[in-house]
Amino acid sequence: MSVVRGLLDKYGLAPKKGFGQNFLVNAAIPQRIAACSREYAPGDRPAGVLEIGPGVGALTQYLAREYDRVVCVEIDRGLIPLLGEALADFSNVTVVEADFMELELPEFLDEHFGDLLAAGGSVSVCANLPYYITTPVIMKLIEGFPANGPLPFSAFTVMVQLEVARRLAAEAGSADYGSISASLALRCRVEKLFDVGPGNFLPAPKVSSAVVGIVPHGGIRQVIPDAPEDPDELLRFAERVSGLIALAFGQRRKTLTNALSGKYPKEKTAEALAVCGLRADIRGERLSAEDFCRLALALA
């Protein structure tokens, strides 16, 4: 706490609510997050990590010990000189002043990690994400790359609000299951790693947090091998599945036949559900990512 306060005071800074800044002040937490992140990366290859929102560098310093290369994206211009001081001892860290949500991810990845990936290395993502932008950041990482292929990351290890962590890792049929749960499952597996109490932050948030690991798998064809093999057809199929998920959870209290009725006739949806072995009155929250894929095939 005293170190973080001292750095902020030295540069005349304070946590900004507009950026959702809650800085870690318990060194054990970022150390554990960095170790969890590195466990997902292949141990026998050069490994890099993209950190979103390094803040005062509490997590960055431990990532620099675990990874060969660390690239941080920080939106707050006032923190750039502070980070220069806090990370001066780490030659493998690059801080980029930018709004992560405005980045073209494929180009950014190629610029900062292209040589590492060409050498057979891996790239991970690690972050203490602001609560207000958690879902947009995660979906940008997923949707920034074509859905007809695997994601170019080893894993995302991110700290989020506890309630969000439960949604990300929820299974079909559970109370926390939602559109983001199903959408993530099309391309990743998600596990909640550990909880983090409010007292570990400055300022202390009003809610608890949790760290989740999001690990990309082989893509939608791993979820359903019957998906189209042609890349263009597979991309269109992935878009249809995503559309079904959006419709299903846009009106989650309705049965699926009613929720999809604006796009598909009810009788057609009922027939497709029967082909999939699902009840005609089922709600979307009961369908797994695989179920949504099977339904997309049946409706086609």
For residue 123, give both structure tokens.
Answer: 């790239």
pLDDT digits (tens, 9 = 90+) for 29-74: 999 999 999 999 998 889 999 999 999 999 999 999 999 999 999 9
CA nearest to 217, candidates 188, 186, 182, 180: 188
pLDDT digits (tens, 9 = 90+) for 160-200: 999 999 999 999 999 999 999 999 999 999 999 999 999 99
Taking the complete model, does pTM exceed 0.85, yes or no? Answer: yes
- 100 and 65 housed in the same domain: yes
Distances (CA, A) of 221 to 125, 244, 272, 290: 24, 17, 20, 10
24, with CB counted inside 10 A (0-12, 13-18, 19+), is buried
What are all long-range contacts of 99-107, with beta carbons under 8 Å and residues at least 24 apart?
A: 99/75, 100/52, 100/53, 100/73, 100/75, 100/137, 100/140, 101/133, 101/136, 101/137, 101/140, 103/73, 105/140, 105/141, 105/144, 105/145, 106/144, 106/145
Quote the number of domains for the chain: 2
Beta bridge partners of 202: 23
- 211 and 250 housed in the same domain: no
Domain boundary (199, 218, 237) is at 218
- 136 and 50 housed in the same domain: yes
DSSP letter assigned to residue 22: -
**Region of residue 165 (phi > 0: left; psi between -120 and 50: alpha; otherwise: beta):** alpha
Give the per-residue pLDDT at 195: 98
Domain boundary (167, 201, 218) is at 218
- Count other C-beta atoms under 10 Å from residue 2's C-beta: 7
197, with CB counted inside 10 A (0-12, 13-18, 19+), is middle
8 Å CB contact between 174 and 126 = no
Sign of CA dihedral 61, 64, 65, 66: positive
Beta bridge partners of 74: 97
For residues 288 and 221, what is the distance between their CA atoms, to the nearest angstrom?
15
The distance of Cα 85 from the centroid of its chain, to the nearest Å, equals: 29
- 238 and 212 housed in the same domain: no
- 36 and 178 housed in the same domain: yes
CA nearest to 37, candidates 66, 60, 57, 65: 66
Q: Are strands 188-196 and 209-216 parallel, antiparallel or unpaired?
A: antiparallel
CATH (domain of 129)? 3.40.50.150
CATH (domain of 293)? 1.10.8.100
- 188 and 238 housed in the same domain: no
Domain boundary (218, 236, 258) is at 218
- 73 and 196 housed in the same domain: yes
Range of the domain at 253: 222-299
Give the per-residue pLDDT at 81: 96
Q: Which residues of the chain have pLDDT under 50?
A: none
